[in-house]
Amino acid sequence: MSIKGKAFIAGAYEHPDREIPGKSPAQVHAEVALGALADAGLSLSDVDAYFCAGDAPGFGTISMAEYLGLGLSYMDSTETGGSSYVVHVGHAAAAIAAGKCQVALITLAGLPRSGDFGRPPFGGAPEGAFENVFGPTVLGMYALAAQRHMYEFGTTSEQLAAIKVAASHHAQHNSRAFLQDVITIEDVLQSPLVSDPLHRLDCCVITDGGGALLVVSPEVARDLDRQCVKVLGEGEAPKHTNNGRIDLTHTGALWSGPRAFREAGLTPADIDYASIYDSFTITVLETIEDLGFCEKGKGGSFVMDGALHAPHGKLPFNTDGGGLCNNHPANRGGMTKVIEAVRQLRGEAHPKVQVPDCSLALAHGTGGSLGTRMGSATLILGREDA
Amino acid sequence: MSENSLPTPTPKVNPETKPFWDATAEGKLLLKRCNQCQTVIWYPRFLCPACASTDTLWFEASGEGVVYSYTVTRRGQGHYWQAAPYVLAYVELAEGPRVLTNIVDCVPESVAIGQKVEAVFHDTGEGSALVRFRPA
């Protein structure tokens, strides 16, 4: 039993704004839901399954089903941080394959740029008292991973900076991107050190926004005019501190990646385009190693010389500008990773960054922190005829 | 207790972790060891995550370790908003576990991976102390 070919992404929508004052989180969830439905040529009354994560207000699936007027036969509020929406695609495909539903709606929305940080996370976490008293910051926890990766493999700040530079080259073509200027490695290195060895420009943007996806059965996909994208495989894994034996040099992609490739019957060499979770530059570096695009420890040399640049690099990545430059709505980047992979497979990325004849794509999510614990998810998608 | 320039927020103590925190107030670092498979457990909990045994025992750790990774935080948040620059680190204890902590009593930029460190206890004034480390 696998999900390969059993479900299709029929609708994908990214909220156009990066700062959304004057709207509620529920309203933005609804706006992106309607956007994805319009993209697919479906309506709210067609939806029989709904997926949302920790960014959804109130009672999650229940509150949003009420707000949107949804009657549902299936719901899932799996919360793995920013990777949740990658997981949701896999879970939706599995539910469709099992005959539980036909049209699954997935939404994300949040307004951190406008000062609304949503529901407080991690209340009562058993590990909390042993960590939060020492002043960990979001960036600091990734800096710990970067420092150790540098120590073990000789990775440099220049190599990390090259990842941001590649994202900026893509973002210049995205008129909605939060940061649209092309920058250089020097620009990154000269930006302030916030938590050694990471600089301000090693970070993603903080944006309001949201996105939505519609995952549908093959029967529903067949009747739609819109070009759909085939779900080929999904893998997921938690990675945590492992009883105090944390290894900071890899992510959960080490486990989620092979599961997804196995289900899809593909290898990293088959992938034409990759959306790689990019909360920080080090997140990308470790993930491309873990997914098998290069050897462990060789990510630094891999990303130099334009490897990540679309359309002709070895591994064109994050052609919307990614979280590093375009959008990181609700501090959760998994949704936009899937959306840009869908654009590439439909041939609807910006012409300057559209990968020619793109037929197989990967979207990877990392939710939580490289420095402690994360939920990792890898999704492999193909063109409708893949 | 060593002299302390960092904030000492009070950890949230529960019945499961109270022996650990009570001991810190007396300048002792307690760890749990699994009585079945001998794995040293971190963070302390009622079962052994290596073999699922609930037969675990507290013991006093040496307080010695080496820096596994570190970062000089230049912008603190919350309790630490005025504390920067300070060193956030994982220290690998001589007993095995890697614990999140701060490296203190040194110039932040002088910290290095592999450096030997020893535990110091910073009293929170609430019946507990934070276990930090200084160069040994």
What pLDDT, in 10s, does the model give residues A117-153?
A: 887 777 789 999 999 999 999 999 999 999 999 999 9
| A132 in reach of chain B (CB within 8 A) | yes
Query: And the tokens for A57?
Result: 């207000």
B105, part of any domain: yes
Alpha helices (H) in chain A, listed in sequence order:
25-40, 61-68, 84-97, 138-153, 157-171, 185-190, 218-222, 253-264, 281-290, 299-303, 334-346
The residues, any chain, with a CB within 8 Å of residue A339's CB and separated by 6 or more, are: A12, A13, A14, A211, A213, A320
Please indicate, yes or no, whether residues A223 and A296 belong to a single structural domain of this protein: no
In tens, the pLDDT along B62-118 reads: 999 999 999 999 999 999 999 999 999 999 999 999 999 999 999 999 999 999 999
Please indicate, yes or no, whether residues A216 and A285 belong to a single structural domain of this protein: no
Determine the pLDDT at residue B3.
Answer: 61
Contact assignment for A196 to B83 by CB distance below 8 Å: no
Distance from CA of B35 to the nearest CA of A (A): 16
Please indicate, yes or no, whether residues A12 and A158 belong to a single structural domain of this protein: no
A251, part of any domain: yes
Determine the pLDDT at residue B1.
Answer: 42
Please indicate, yes or no, whether residues A34 and A140 belong to a single structural domain of this protein: no
Alpha-carbon distance of A346 to A343, in angstroms, equals 5
Residue A1: burial class (beta carbons within 10 Å; 0-12, 13-18, 19+): exposed
Determine the pLDDT at residue A1.
Answer: 81
Residue of chain B whose alpha carbon sits nearest to that of A143: B71
Contact assignment for B97 to A245 by CB distance below 8 Å: yes
A131, part of any domain: no
Alpha-carbon distance of A61 to B79, in angstroms, equals 34
A329: β partners: A207
The string over A247-282, giving b where at least 16 C-beta atoms fall within 10 Å of a residue's C-beta and e elsewhere, is: ebbbbbbbbbbbbbbebbebebeebbbbbbbbbbbb
The residues, any chain, with a CB within 8 Å of residue A195's CB and separated by 6 or more, are: A137, A139, A140, A142, A143, B71, B72, B73, B74, B75, B88
| Cβ proximity of A349 and A229 under 8 Å | no
Contact assignment for B72 to A126 by CB distance below 8 Å: no
A3, part of any domain: no
Q: What is the ipTM of this complex?
A: 0.97
Distance from CA of A140 to the nearest CA of B (A): 6
B129: β partners: B123
Alpha-carbon distance of A189 to A307, in angstroms, equals 20
Contact assignment for A197 to B71 by CB distance below 8 Å: yes
Please indicate, yes or no, whether residues A35 and A158 belong to a single structural domain of this protein: no
B13, part of any domain: no
B2, part of any domain: no
A264: left (phi over 0), alpha (psi -120 to 50) or beta: alpha
Pairing of strands B86-93, A229-239: unpaired
Alpha-carbon distance of B86 to B101, in angstroms, equals 11
Determine the pLDDT at residue A386.
Answer: 85
Whether the predicted pLDDT of A197 surpasses 80: yes
Neighbours of A162 (CB within 10 A): 26
Please indicate, yes or no, whether residues A198 and A221 belong to a single structural domain of this protein: no
Please indicate, yes or no, whether residues A292 and A340 belong to a single structural domain of this protein: yes
The total number of structural domains that make up chain B: 1
Q: Of B40, B79, B98, which is closest to A135 when you measure between CB atoms?
A: B79
In tens, the pLDDT along A85-129 reads: 999 999 999 999 999 999 999 999 999 999 888 877 777 899 999
A126, part of any domain: no
Q: Of B41, B50, B71, which is closest to A196 when you measure between CB atoms?
A: B71
3-state DSSP of A299-337: HHHHHCCCCCCCCCCCCCECCCCHHHHHCCECCCCHHHH
What average pLDDT does the segment A192-209 reach?
Answer: 98
Alpha-carbon distance of A260 to A33, in angstroms, equals 27
Contact assignment for B50 to A145 by CB distance below 8 Å: no
Contact assignment for A140 to B73 by CB distance below 8 Å: yes
Query: And the tokens for A20?
Result: 């959304």
B121, part of any domain: yes
Please indicate, yes or no, whether residues A167 and A23 belong to a single structural domain of this protein: no
Q: What percentage of chain A has pLDDT greater than the value 70?
A: 100
B5, part of any domain: no
In tens, the pLDDT along A369-385 reads: 999 999 999 999 999 98
Query: And the tokens for B30?
Result: 């307690």
Chain A residues with CB inside 8 Å of B12's CB?
Answer: 128-129
Which residue of A122, A127, A134 to mutate against B (max B Cβ within 10 Å)?
A: A134
| A29 in reach of chain B (CB within 8 A) | no
Alpha-carbon distance of A158 to A287, in angstroms, equals 18
| Cβ proximity of A283 and A371 under 8 Å | no
Chain B residues with CB inside 8 Å of A244's CB?
Answer: 40-43, 96-99
Determine the pLDDT at residue B126.
Answer: 96
Please indicate, yes or no, whether residues A66 and A178 belong to a single structural domain of this protein: no
Chain B residues with CB inside 8 Å of A151's CB?
Answer: 69, 113
Angle CA A3–A6–A10, to nearest 5 = 115
Which residue of A243, A249, A369 to mutate against B (max B Cβ within 10 Å)?
A: A243
Q: Of B88, B97, B101, which is closest to A244 when you measure between CB atoms?
A: B97
Q: What is the CATH number of the domain that holds A107?
A: 3.40.47.10
Please indicate, yes or no, whether residues A187 and A312 belong to a single structural domain of this protein: yes
Angle CA A56–A58–A64, to nearest 5 = 60
The residues, any chain, with a CB within 8 Å of residue B65's CB and separated by 6 or more, are: B91, B92, B93, B94, B99, B116, B117, B118, B119, B133
Q: Of B42, B70, B98, which is closest to A147 when you measure between CB atoms?
A: B70
Q: What is the residue-averaged pLDDT of chain A? A: 97
Sign of CA dihedral A10, A118, A164, B109: negative
DSSP-derived 3-state class of residue A264:
helix
Whether the predicted pLDDT of A275 surpasses 60: yes
Whether the predicted pLDDT of A234 surpasses 60: yes
The total number of structural domains that make up chain A: 2
Please indicate, yes or no, whether residues A52 and A167 belong to a single structural domain of this protein: no
| A155 in reach of chain B (CB within 8 A) | no
What average pLDDT does the segment A245-269 reach?
Answer: 98
B128, part of any domain: yes
Please indicate, yes or no, whether residues A83 and A158 belong to a single structural domain of this protein: no
Q: Of A129, A144, A196, which is closest to B12 when you measure between CB atoms?
A: A129
Q: What percentage of chain A has pLDDT greater than the value 90?
A: 96
Q: How confident is the model at residue A230 (pLDDT cuts 50, 70, 90)?
A: very high
B51, part of any domain: yes
Neighbours of A305 (CB within 10 A): 11
Alpha-carbon distance of B61 to B133, in angstroms, equals 13
Chain B residues with CB inside 8 Å of A196's CB?
Answer: 71-72, 74
- Boundaries of domain holding B107: 18-135
Helix, strand, coil percentages in chain B from 3-state DSSP, rounded to 5: 10, 40, 55
Q: What is the residue-averaged pLDDT of chain B? A: 96
- Boundaries of domain holding A222: 8-113+208-227
Whether the predicted pLDDT of A256 surpasses 90: yes
| A144 in reach of chain B (CB within 8 A) | yes
Distance from CA of B116 to the nearest CA of A (A): 16
